[in-house]
Each structure stands twice: as C-alpha cells, then as structure tokens.
C-alpha cells in the first residue's frame, strides 16, 4: 500500500483553479488525505467559503490566493510559497474555454485560452518543480481532456491547448521522475462542473461527477504519465485513437460538441 500523501510528497498541496467544480473536488480529496492546502482562483468569496469548510471538516491549514491565472503575477506568489512551505503536490486544474467556431469569436478569447491553458501550466511547473526536484520528492497533476486527442470542432482553441498539456505532461513525467517527482496528466471526458452544466443540454456519454474524476486521478499518481478516468472514457479514447481515422474521429467529435451552447 502506498505511503500517506504527506509522507510521500510533503505536508502542503496547491490547487490552481480551486473555487468550485473539479478544483473543489481535488481540494476535498487532498484534505481527506491530510494535506494542508493552498487554494488559488479568481473569486475570493468562493475560495474563502471552501477554505472555511475544509478547516472545519478536516482540521487542516488552508491558505487562499485570489489571482487571475491568465496573468503572470501569480507565478511569483507560487514560487515564494514553494520556498516557504513544503509544497509537495500541485494540481493545475484552471481552464478557460468558449464554445463556437473559432473565427466567430474575437482573437482575444482564443488568446485567453492560451494564457490560462498553455502558458499557465508552464508557469505552474516552473514555479513548483524546481524545489520538488531539489528535495527529491513531489508530484504535479495537470488536467487535460479527451478533446485534446483529436480536432474538436467548436472547441478548437480549447482542444489544442489540451493537446499541449498532454504532451507537456508526458515529457515532464520522463524528465522529472528520475529526480523523485511524479507527473500525471488526467485526460477527462465531460465532467458535471458548473461550467459544463451551463453549456450542455444533456450529459455526454461517460460524463462523471467531479469527485469521481478527482479521486481516480489522485489514486493514479505514480502510475503515469496519463490517466483517463472512467471506463466509458477509456473505451472512447481507444475507439477514437486506434479504430478510426483522424478524419472520422474529428467527425465524431463534431457530433458530440454540437450539443454544447
């Protein structure tokens, strides 16, 4: 049986994009494992409410930082925390997306996707991983998506950013594991987060609750580089990636994203 998380990685974990949905589920899962937490997101009131609950329910320390992960300033905050605390586990769950044809939206919308979903993980790794590598232990979880394994019409910028995250995480898994740092990319399907529920007219096949995705991801740390939570999602990944041509896979995704608004 693996050692408890604080013993394996250190006493503190950081969750970026922690205010609700999947980020909240990661925070709860880590709190149950005895980890003290640093929670980052834009909305201070949601972070503070979650921190209050976690302190009461799990008797842990929780710090919150209300920061926009599309910017650059937060990286200095995280680097300072990594130097101050035994920050041994980091989850980058923050994401931005829009639904619709790429050219029907302002370029600034796609650039924000890149800022949060691609530059954000790079900055996250650079802020956290050096101290982990020096200590010889730690773990980084990057949230990707099944949408990133092939073109996904009406989610073009988002899907491209998730492809970036997957390849980044796989590469870092090989680079950092010899130094005692685990890297895991979680490629989830649809998740019943507030954002998904606001855009989907019905559940896509394989849709999971946030708590299920968080638990399966945390249990997969050390078994990387990639985990696909959910049996149906694993089947979909195999079918789209191995059984179909790229053209056919993109057409399947087009039908799936047609229900998003």
- Residue 188 sits at φ, ψ, to 5 deg, of -90, 155
Joined together, the tokens standing for residue 19 give 């205010």
- Confirm whether 162 is a catalytic residue: yes
- Confirm whether 223 is a catalytic residue: no
- Residue 16 sits at φ, ψ, to 5 deg, of -95, 130
> Cα(19)–Cα(210) distance, rounded to whole angstroms?
13
CA 27 to chain centre: 12
| Contact call for residues 44 and 73 (beta carbons, < 8 A) | no
CA dihedral of 20, 17, 118, 76, whole degrees rounded to 10: 170
> Cα(140)–Cα(33) distance, rounded to whole angstroms?
16
Q: Which of 236, 192, 194, 227 is nearest to 211 (CA)?
A: 192
Active-site residue, selected from the candidate residues 92, 96, 158, 196 = 158
| Contact call for residues 186 and 234 (beta carbons, < 8 A) | no
CA 229 to chain centre: 13
Active-site residue, selected from the candidate residues 92, 162, 196, 219 = 162
Q: Which residues are catalytic?
A: 158, 162
């Amino acid at each position: 049986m693996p050692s408890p998380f604080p013993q394996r990685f250190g006493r503190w974990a950081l969750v970026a994009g922690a205010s609700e949905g999947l980020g909240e589920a990661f925070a709860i899962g880590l709190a149950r494992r005895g980890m003290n937490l640093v929670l980052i997101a834009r909305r201070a009131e949601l972070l503070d409410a979650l921190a209050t609950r976690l302190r009461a329910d799990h008797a842990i320390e929780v710090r919150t930082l209300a920061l926009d992960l599309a910017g650059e300033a937060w990286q200095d905050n995280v680097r300072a925390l990594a130097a101050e605390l035994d920050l041994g586990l980091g989850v980058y769950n923050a994401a931005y997306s829009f639904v619709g044809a790429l050219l029907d939206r302002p370029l600034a919308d796609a650039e924000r996707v890149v800022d949060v979903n691609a530059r954000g993980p790079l900055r996250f790794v650079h802020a956290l991983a050096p101290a982990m590598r020096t200590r010889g232990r730690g773990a980084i979880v990057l949230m990707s998506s099944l949408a990133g394994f092939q073109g996904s019409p009406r989610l073009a910028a988002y899907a491209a950013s998730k492809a970036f995250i997957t390849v980044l995480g796989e590469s870092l898994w090989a680079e950092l594991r010899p130094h005692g740092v685990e890297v895991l990319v979680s490629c989830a399907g649809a998740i019943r987060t507030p954002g998904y529920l606001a855009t989907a007219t019905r559940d896509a096949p394989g849709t999971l609750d946030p708590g299920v995705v968080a638990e399966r991801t945390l249990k997969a740390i050390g078994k990387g580089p990639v985990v696909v939570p959910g049996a149906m999602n694993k089947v979909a990944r195999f079918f789209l990636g191995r059984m179909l041509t790229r053209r056919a896979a993109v057409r399947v995704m087009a039908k799936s994203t047609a229900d998003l608004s």
